[in-house]
Structure 1
Amino acid sequence: MHRRHLIALAAATATLACGSAFAQSNYPSKPIRLIVPFAAGGTTDIIARVMSEPLTKALGQSVVVDNKGGAGGAIGAAEAARAAPDGYTLSVATVSTTAANPAINPKLSYDPINDFVPIINIAATPNIIAVNPSFPAKDYKSFVELLKKNPGKYSYASSGTGGIGHLQTELWKSLTGLFVTHIPYRGAGPALNDVVAGQVPIMFDNLPSALPFIKTGKLVPIVVAAPARLKDLPDTPTFKEVGLEPVNRMAYYGILAPKGTPKEIVDKVYAAAKKALEEPAVKKRIEETGSIIVGNTPQEFSKQIKDEFNVYKEVVKKQKLTL
C-alpha cells in the first residue's frame, strides 16, 4: 500500500475513533428506550415507571418505557439483545428473562449471560403465593392439606412459561410433591386480573403487583419468599418458616445494555440510576411496593444473574420441564 494511502487510512481511523468518543461523551443526545419485557401492570412495569422519571432527570433525556410482553419475557429480551449497543435501547432484567426462561428454553435467540452488559440491580422484591378469596384455604397449612387431598384439581396463573412465577412454583412443587396445573399468561398483569376475577384460583407473583389487591381484600396471602416476615403482611409466614428455604428467593429488577455497549455509556447509566435510587421520593415509591433497594455494581449484578441461572437450570432438570 502506498504511503499516502496509509496516511489517509490512519486519518480516517482517527476520525472514526474521535467521532465515536465524541458520541459517547455527548451521550445521551436523544431519548432512550427502556424495554420492559412484560405487559403493563406487573412488577417489572411498575419498577421501570418509577425509575423512568428520575433517570430522565439525571441523564437529561427522556427515558421512555416500552412494553414488549410475551413468551415469559423472551420476546422483549430478544429485542433488547438485538439492539444497537449505543445506549439508546436499554432493558429491564428480571429473573424470568435472565435465568428462569433461558433455563427452560435453551433455543432462545439470546444468551442471558453473554448478550448483555449488566448495569445495576435496582431492587429485590419478595415473591408471594396468593389466592382468590373464594379459595377454600386461607393459610399455608390448610393450603397444603387441600392440595394434597385434591391433586390436579386446582391451577395456578403465572406471567408466562419460563417466567419466575412458573419456575418458582415448580421449585416449590418439586420440594412438596404437590401438583397444581400451570396456566401461563403474557405477563403478571393479565394473570393477576384473572386470579382476582376468580378465573384461576392461585398465583405465585412478585409482591409489588399483588400487594394492592391483598390490601383491598381481593387476594389472600398464603406464604412469602422474603428474608423475614413483611411489615405489610405480619401474619404471612416466609418459605423458610414453613421448612422450604430453597424457595425463599427474591426477584430482581435491574438494567441491562446490549453486548458491546461502551464502558463510558454503562458508567453514565449506572451513575444516573445510583443517583436516582438515592432520592428519598424514589426510594419511598419503590419501598412502598414491598421492594428492597439494592443498587449494586455491574460486577455484582453480573454474578447474581449467573447464580440465579444455575439455580433454575437445576429446577428444570429435576422437574423435567419442557416448553
Structure 2
Amino acid sequence: MSPTRRGLLAAAALLPAPARAQAWPTRPVRLVVGFTPGSSTDVTARIFAQAFSQAWGQPVVVENIPGQGGAIGADRVAKSPPDGATLLWGANGALTIVPTLQPVGFDPLKDLAAIGRTLSMASVFLVANGSPFHSLGDVIAAARVRPGGLAYGTPGVGTPQHIAVEMLCRLAGIRMEHVPYRGANLADVMNGVLPLGVQNSGVAMPLAQEGRIRAIAVSSLQRSPAMPEIPTVAEQGFPGFEALSWFGLMAPAGTPRPILDKVHAEAMRVLADAEQRARFAQLGLDPAPSTGEEMQALIAADIQKWARVIAEAGIQAGR
C-alpha cells in the first residue's frame, strides 16, 4: 500500500462514525452469494452490485460461495470483520430453513445485521399440458385417492419449494412423495414423467407463458402481475397460504449503523427505478422493500413457521 493511501485510511479512521459512513466505501466491497453463478440469487445480486458500484465509486464484487443451501456463504459473512467491506446477498432458505434442518456455524438473528429485504419470488405449481390435473383441487383429490402415491419434484430437500408443498400437504391432510432434484425438474414434468413440479417463477414463468407447460397455482398471497391468470393456492381453498422465496441484504453483526443505512438507501433507490423494476418483472421477481428491523422480524417469524412444518413433516437434511 502506498504511503498516500495509508495516510488517507488513517485519516478516515479518525473521523466520527457518521463522517466515516459518508466516506465509505474507501475500498472494494465483497457481496457474498451463497449459490453458484447463474442462479436466481446470483443474477439478482449482480444487478444490485452494479448499481452499488456506480453509486459509490468503488467496485462491489460478487463472490460466489455455494454450499449447504447458501448457509456456507452466510457463515463466511457472519465471521467477517464488521467494517462494511463484506455484505451478504441473503436468500431466505439459508436464513430461515437450513438452520433448522442441519447445524450451521452462525445464528441468523444474532450474528448478522439485517439491512432490508429487497425482492420476493413466488413458486409455481406445474403439470404437463396433457395432465389430467387442471387445478390444485385435482392434485389434492388424486393424492387422497392414492396416499403417498403421487410424486412431486422440487429443486431439492429443504428448498422453499419443498417446504411450501409440505405445508400444503399438512393443510390439505394429504401425503405426496417428494422427488428432490438438483435444480430444475421441468423436463420431467413436461414429459409427464413427474406428475407435479414446483419451481420458482423465474424458471417456470417463461415456459408457462410460451404454453409449453401448464401452471395451476402460485404460492404468493396475491396473483403474480406477470401471470395474473394463474390462481393462488390461497384462492383454491387455503386462505392465507403464502410461501415465498425472497432476497435481502445483510452484514456482519456490529457493522456501524450509518453504513447499514447507506446500503439500505441505495438498495431502495434500485427498487424504485422503473427500468430495474421492469427487469425484475422479466425475471419473475417482485420488489419487496423493507427496513432492517422488518427483515429481522420476518426472519424470526419464518424460522418458527418453517420449523413447525419441518417437524410435522419429518423432513431431514439429505432426505
TM-score by length of structure 1 reads: 0.82
Match of 2:264 in 1: 270
CA, structure 1 residues 149+65, in 2 after alignment: closer, same or farther (shift >3 Å)?
farther
Match of 2:251 in 1: 257
1:224, 1:248 within 8 Å by CA — same for their partners in 2? no
* Equivalent-residue separation in structure 1 for 2:154 and 2:43 (angstroms): 17
SS at match of 2:234: coil
* Equivalent-residue separation in structure 2 for 1:169 and 1:42 (angstroms): 22
Match of 2:88 in 1: 91
* Equivalent-residue separation in structure 2 for 1:196 and 1:89 (angstroms): 41
CA, structure 1 residues 139+254, in 2 after alignment: closer, same or farther (shift >3 Å)?
same
Match of 1:176 in 2: 172
Match of 1:149 in 2: 145
Residue of 101, 113, 119 corresponding to 2:98: 101
Give, in angstroms, the shift of residue 16 of structure 1: 10
Match of 1:227 in 2: 221
CA, structure 1 residues 232+26, in 2 after alignment: closer, same or farther (shift >3 Å)?
closer
* Equivalent-residue separation in structure 1 for 2:190 and 2:29 (angstroms): 34
Between 1:197-206 and 1:137-146, the stretch displaced more is: 197-206
SS at match of 1:245: coil
Residue of 263, 283, 286 corresponding to 1:289: 283
- Report the residue type matching 2:77 in the other structure: A
2:160, 2:243 within 8 Å by CA — same for their partners in 1? no
Match of 2:123 in 1: 127
Give, in angstroms, the shift of residue 31 of structure 1: 2.7
CA, structure 1 residues 67+148, in 2 after alignment: closer, same or farther (shift >3 Å)?
farther
2:88, 2:249 within 8 Å by CA — same for their partners in 1? yes
1:50, 1:285 within 8 Å by CA — same for their partners in 2? no
1:122, 1:255 within 8 Å by CA — same for their partners in 2? yes
* Equivalent-residue separation in structure 1 for 2:75 and 2:144 (angstroms): 39
Give, in angstroms, the shift of residue 27 of structure 1: 2.1
Give, in angstroms, the shift of residue 309 of structure 1: 1.2
2:30, 2:85 within 8 Å by CA — same for their partners in 1? yes
Alignment of 1:195-206 (within 5 A): 200-206=194-200
1:70, 1:160 within 8 Å by CA — same for their partners in 2? no
Match of 1:303 in 2: 297
Give, in angstroms, the shift of residue 55 of structure 1: 1.9
- Report the residue type matching 1:156 in the other structure: Y
2:119, 2:285 within 8 Å by CA — same for their partners in 1? yes
Give, in angstroms, the shift of residue 195 of structure 1: 5.0
Alignment of 1:23-42 (within 5 A): 24-42=21-39
1:127, 1:225 within 8 Å by CA — same for their partners in 2? yes
Give, in angstroms, the shift of residue 171 of structure 1: 0.8
Q: C-alpha deviations, 1:95-130, integer Å up to 9, x for none?
A: 21111222333x222211111111111122222222
* Equivalent-residue separation in structure 2 for 1:200 and 1:75 (angstroms): 31
Give, in angstroms, the shift of residue 284 of structure 1: 1.7
- Report the residue type matching 1:85 in the other structure: P
* Equivalent-residue separation in structure 1 for 2:29 and 2:129 (angstroms): 41
- Report the residue type matching 1:158 in the other structure: T
- Report the residue type matching 1:164 in the other structure: P
* Equivalent-residue separation in structure 2 for 1:31 and 1:220 (angstroms): 45
The gaps in structure 2 that reach 5 residues or longer are 1-9
1:36, 1:69 within 8 Å by CA — same for their partners in 2? yes
Between 1:267-276 and 1:221-230, the stretch displaced more is: 221-230
Match of 1:117 in 2: 113
Residue of 41, 48, 51 corresponding to 1:51: 48
SS at match of 1:210: helix
**Root mean square deviation of aligned Cα:** 2.9
Q: Does 1:63 align with 2:57?
A: no
1:59, 1:272 within 8 Å by CA — same for their partners in 2? no
* Equivalent-residue separation in structure 1 for 2:201 and 2:148 (angstroms): 26
The gaps in structure 1 that reach 5 residues or longer are 1-13
